[in-house]
Chain A
Amino acid sequence: MAKAAWPFFALDDIKHIIEGCKKQDRLSQEKLYRQFYPALFALSKTFFQDKHDVLTALNNGMLRVYKNIDQFDDSKGTFFNWVYTIIRNAALTRVRDKKTDTSLELLADNLTDNAFYNPFLDKEWEDIYLLLAKLPPTTRAICSLYYMEGFLIKEIAVVLDMKEGTVKWHLNESRKRLKIIAQININKSE
């Protein structure tokens, strides 16, 4: 499922930009930013409803990219994937900072058959954003990580510093809500 390479830059171009960024060349930094901006904004938006949070997470992540660009090793993966991972981690850091601590362990085992339902399957970005907008912030982040980023429940629990049962409850809650919304939309279309 992993993306092999980012198609927007030719290989020479990206190397040139990376070298420029290493020298703190502001023009190279701008080129990189503008080129990746739509994809990274879309990524960040899956975690946050508020566009200010989206941009803050994105820019915090890009600052990390610029500061640590010398640590990028192209033998370990593509440059886009490296940037993408950093932005996602920055977004998760923000989610973690903003999350409200809820004790939902008792609900952890309260899973239903909805566990195998993917509400974002075959959805356009606009529809995905609309569905995510119906979810509370933490539930939204967990839903994005699980369905869109492919994280395991265990991984999400570690990333967001919560118990696996809590993650499962959020996922179950998101499926229930999104299923109802999807059903309403289907009924409307019929």
Chain B
Amino acid sequence: MNEKFLHSANDLNDRYPSPDIPADTAWSDMQKLLDEDDDNTIVPPPISPSGGNNGYWKYGLLLLLIGGIAVYYISNKNKIQQEQTAKHAANSVEQKVEGRKNDAVRGHDSSNSAESLVSRQHKIKYDSLGNKIILPGTISKNEQAIETIVEPDYSKNNTTSPGAKENLTFKNKEYRTRKNARVKINGGSVGENNANTARSETSRGKREINVNQKLTETEIVVSASGRKSKHPNASQSDNQKTLDGDLNIIAEKIPGSKTTNKSVEPSMLNDSILAEKNIKPLQQDATAFNKKDSIKDQQLVINKPWELKKDTTGKINNEKGQKKITWAAGLGLRQSFAVSSQQYSGYNANGTRGIIADYIPVPFIRGYLSKKLCLQLEAQFNTPQYSKQLLVKKEIILDSNGNKENSTYINKLYYFNIPLSIHYSVNNNFNIGAGIQFSHLKNAVGLFELKEPGSMGTKTTYASLKNDPLYKEIKATEWLILLNAYYQWKNLAVGIRYNQALSNFINVQISPTQVTQGKNSSVQFFVWYTLWKNKVF
């Protein structure tokens, strides 16, 4: 400390001249200066009883929770509805079959009874050439008209188990196709139609489907629309009454098969065969047929047989009934931007020029919970985080030549990030997501400023703070929330992401009146490329 002369004459202590400016005026001027300085000083916020951060993390978690529930609800809405309807349909089928069984036991002539509603699960059967025939499920009250020609055979295989319902056989039923193909079940002559007639006959006690058709399309929907066939070639014989309701038969031809004329024995169409073909969504299809309000106009069009292998949730069931999740993996690149009052820095983690290491590709793995919903986990190495020029240390060295000021500012931070996000596909290409990110501090670049009294300017240098005691003042780990939106085209996704930390990464007291605090946030532009994906969708 330089004392020099300090007004060398000691006897002047009590004889200083009266100041030109009164002390009151000088003090009021000083007060203004102090007040202005207070306004510019960062006042530390009061610490909340909840442990700091002003409870922002609670809002973040609440937001995440609400978002998650909303996404889950939207994605599962259809699934839940379908499950409920299917359950209802199954119950209905069971009740009706039970009723018919009782009727049979009582000797009731169900064919003429309004109560003899024939209910059954529709069946998907394949003939020897792979043509798929789906027999529909419930027949509603509107089917009374056909009861005269429909005579269920309960003489065999009539058990109370649900599986037994599939063994119900029907006779004298004829279904008209869009292509005028007919499928007649259980005997009876079907009038001659055009060349595209499909005929299915089943004799009593022996279920047999005879399909004789020339199909020019890979898909044929056989619809018993409840109206008599309006096709000019349609036969109007008594036993050719079309179904008055919601019977549907879908005869589907596997691509490549032009003509089929095969008889299929029931033994060929049992459940084991269907199981081998991995046909699962029988219940779902039954649902479609049992919707009361839409029954009349239902036409189940299946032009992608492989879609039957999966349900609407996107999960597929393997042979053991276990659910599989689609996985994908790839690499991404991201570019961070300085936001708010953050400053862009061209220095790398070592405090030298060159930021090529800021662009290390980001590997990611993605698990599809459904067609529209997926979880993504990333690993971001050496991720730059721009910062405001935050003063973290100020040192004033009193010297005879004047005060030397050593100031240290944070210039840039480097983190290892693990973002976990959930993405929802708004439409086929546009996706939004939210999630949480764990960050671990890996390095920090500091700006060292030296202000010497003899020089007009300041000397600034950049260096890594990793070996500086100040490094310990920076929070080593932190949690952030993230929101992103991106556009996906095939395997390429381009989007933008916003990160916001839930807590301060720095909180140091520079002086009694000055506290430095900072919270990380960033905006990233990113490109993702999916390199691998197990094909389910």
Task: Judge if A24 is at the interface, Cβ distance under 8 Å.
Answer: yes
| Nearest residue, chain B, Cβ from A4 | B10
Task: Judge if B4 is at the interface, Cβ distance under 8 Å.
Answer: yes
Task: Judge if B535 is at the interface, Cβ distance under 8 Å.
Answer: no
- Contact indicator A125/B4 (Cβ below 8 Å): no
- Contact indicator B37/A42 (Cβ below 8 Å): no
| Interchain CB contact (< 8 A) of A81 among B3, B23, B26, B29 | B3
- Contact indicator B33/A63 (Cβ below 8 Å): yes
| Interchain CB contact (< 8 A) of B4 among A39, A86, A93, A150 | A150
Query: Please, which residues of chain B bring their CB within 8 A of the CB of A129?
Result: 17
Task: Judge if B398 is at the interface, Cβ distance under 8 Å.
Answer: yes
| Interchain CB contact (< 8 A) of A85 among B7, B10, B398, B513 | B398
The interface size bin for chain A is: 35 or more
Task: Judge if B232 is at the interface, Cβ distance under 8 Å.
Answer: no
Query: Please, which residues of chain B bring their CB within 8 A of the CB of A68?
Result: 396, 511
| Nearest residue, chain B, Cβ from A70 | B512
- Contact indicator A85/B16 (Cβ below 8 Å): no
Interface residues of A in 14-37 (CB under 8 A from B): 22-24, 26, 29-30, 33-34, 37
Interface residues of A in 56-82 (CB under 8 A from B): 58-60, 62-64, 66-71, 76-77, 81-82
- Contact indicator B5/A59 (Cβ below 8 Å): no
What CA separation (Å) do A151 and B33 show in the bound complex? 30
The interface stretch among A102-110, A155-163, A165-173, A180-188 is A155-163
Whether A148 contacts B7 in the complex (CB less than 8 A), given A71-B396, A158-B401, comes out as yes
Task: Judge if A126 is at the interface, Cβ distance under 8 Å.
Answer: yes
- Contact indicator A51/B2 (Cβ below 8 Å): no
What CA separation (Å) do A86 and B4 show in the bound complex? 13
- Contact indicator B26/A41 (Cβ below 8 Å): yes
Interface residues of B in 489-531 (CB under 8 A from A): 511-514
| Interchain CB contact (< 8 A) of A159 among B6, B12, B26, B454 | B454
| Nearest residue, chain B, Cβ from A80 | B6
What CA separation (Å) do A82 and B2 show in the bound complex? 8
- Contact indicator A38/B455 (Cβ below 8 Å): no
Whether A125 contacts B511 in the complex (CB less than 8 A), given A2-B4, A59-B29, comes out as no
| Interchain CB contact (< 8 A) of B30 among A59, A93, A96, A159 | A59
* CB of A85, distance to nearest CB on chain B (Å): 6
- Contact indicator B1/A76 (Cβ below 8 Å): yes
Q: Render A1-15 as a binary contact track against B, CB cut-off 8 A, 1 for contact.
A: 111000100000000
| Interchain CB contact (< 8 A) of B2 among A63, A71, A85, A125 | A85
- Contact indicator A89/B20 (Cβ below 8 Å): no
What CA separation (Å) do A60 and B29 show in the bound complex? 11
- Contact indicator A96/B19 (Cβ below 8 Å): no
Tally inter-chain residue pairs, CB-CB below 8 A.
138
Query: Please, which residues of chain B bring their CB within 8 A of the CB of A82?
Result: 1, 398
- Contact indicator B26/A3 (Cβ below 8 Å): no
What CA separation (Å) do A37 and B401 show in the bound complex? 23
Task: Judge if A92 is at the interface, Cβ distance under 8 Å.
Answer: yes
What CA separation (Å) do A42 and B514 show in the bound complex? 31
Query: Please, which residues of chain A bring their CB within 8 A of the CB of B514?
Result: 67
Task: Judge if A84 is at the interface, Cβ distance under 8 Å.
Answer: yes
What CA separation (Å) do A41 and B29 show in the bound complex? 14
Query: Please, which residues of chain A bring their CB within 8 A of the CB of B13?
Result: 3, 7, 39
Query: Please, which residues of chain A bring their CB within 8 A of the CB of B398?
Result: 82, 85-86
Task: Judge if B34 is at the interface, Cβ distance under 8 Å.
Answer: yes
Task: Judge if A175 is at the interface, Cβ distance under 8 Å.
Answer: no
- Contact indicator B27/A30 (Cβ below 8 Å): yes
- Contact indicator B402/A93 (Cβ below 8 Å): yes
| Interchain CB contact (< 8 A) of A126 among B17, B402, B513 | B17
| Interchain CB contact (< 8 A) of A149 among B4, B402, B403 | B4
| Interchain CB contact (< 8 A) of B454 among A51, A67, A161 | A161
Whether A150 contacts B8 in the complex (CB less than 8 A), given A92-B453, A158-B454, A159-B401, comes out as yes
| Nearest residue, chain A, Cβ from B25 | A55
**A-B interface, 9 closest residue pairs, ranked by CB to CB distance from nearest:** A2-B3, A150-B5, A41-B19, A77-B1, A150-B4, A38-B16, A158-B454, A125-B17, A51-B20
Listed A/B pairs (18) with beta-carbon separation below 8 Å: A1-B5, A23-B512, A24-B513, A37-B23, A38-B16, A41-B19, A41-B21, A55-B21, A59-B29, A62-B30, A63-B33, A63-B34, A67-B513, A85-B3, A92-B402, A125-B17, A158-B454, A161-B456
Q: Which A residues fall within an 8 A CB radius of B?
A: 1-3, 7, 22-24, 26, 29-30, 33-34, 37-39, 41-43, 45, 51, 54-55, 58-60, 62-64, 66-71, 76-77, 81-82, 84-86, 89, 92-93, 96, 125-126, 129, 148-151, 155, 158-159, 161
Inter-chain pairs besides A33-B30, A38-B19, 14 sampled, C-beta below 8 Å: A1-B8, A34-B23, A41-B16, A45-B19, A51-B20, A54-B20, A55-B29, A82-B1, A85-B1, A89-B402, A96-B456, A150-B5, A151-B4, A159-B453
